[in-house]
Amino acid sequence: MTGYLPPPAEVDRPTRDRLLLEQCAALVADGPDAIAVMANLSAALHAAYAWHWVGFYRVVGDELVLGPFHGPPACVRIARGKGVCGHAWATGQVLVVPNVDAFPGHIACSALSRSELVVPVRGRSGEVAAVLDVDSMHLDDFSDQDLVLLEKVAALLSPWLV
């Protein structure tokens, strides 16, 4: 891939998501390093939608460890089952949290985050190998379209993870 341009803001959401996914697929094709792929995917998502924080946590042993991201500094380690990311990892389920203050045990890495969407990313083994974490400064900011988009982006990363 020679360069990246976010999809134009003036196009409708389905077109914007389709163009972004095409560009993400091209970024992934530049692999084979999983960290590099995560870095490019988080950069592309952040550039396209300007969410407060977009990034990955990698499963390393019995905890999630901060991976590539875009946004303010973040928590470095998260225990399995703790916070939104740890819960998504433990259950293997996508979590959409409209108000992080109402989520029991939420870990506040940034006081500006108000809603969160976390997608578990399964590796080639079928086990959760990472989570894609997206935070917004707005309450109830994530739509079904966001969920579908982020699940598709996570699926692009899956072949690069063990």
* 45 occurs within a structural domain: no
Residue 109 lies in a domain: yes
Residue 37 domain-assigned (yes or no): no
Task: Give the helix/strand (H/E) hosting 16.
Answer: helix 13-29
Sign of CA dihedral 157, 66, 148, 124: positive
- 41 is a domain residue: no
Residue 141 has pLDDT above 80, yes or no: yes
The answer as to whether 123 is a domain residue is yes
Quote the pTM value.
0.95
d(CA 119, CA 98): 15
The range of the structural domain enclosing residue 80 comes to: 51-160
pLDDT by residue (tens digit) across 38-84? 999 999 999 999 999 999 999 999 999 999 999 999 999 999 999 99
- Give the separation between CA 14 and CA 106, rounded to whole angstroms: 31
Asked whether residue 33 is assigned to any structural domain, the reply reads: no
Q: How far is CA 127 from CA 28, 81, 130, in A?
A: 20, 15, 9
Number of domains in the chain: 1
CA angle 122, 32, 132 (to 5 degrees): 35
- 6-40 residue pLDDT tens: 788 889 999 999 999 999 999 999 777 999 999 99
Confidence of residue 148 (pLDDT cuts 50, 70, 90): very high
- CATH at residue 69: 3.30.450.40
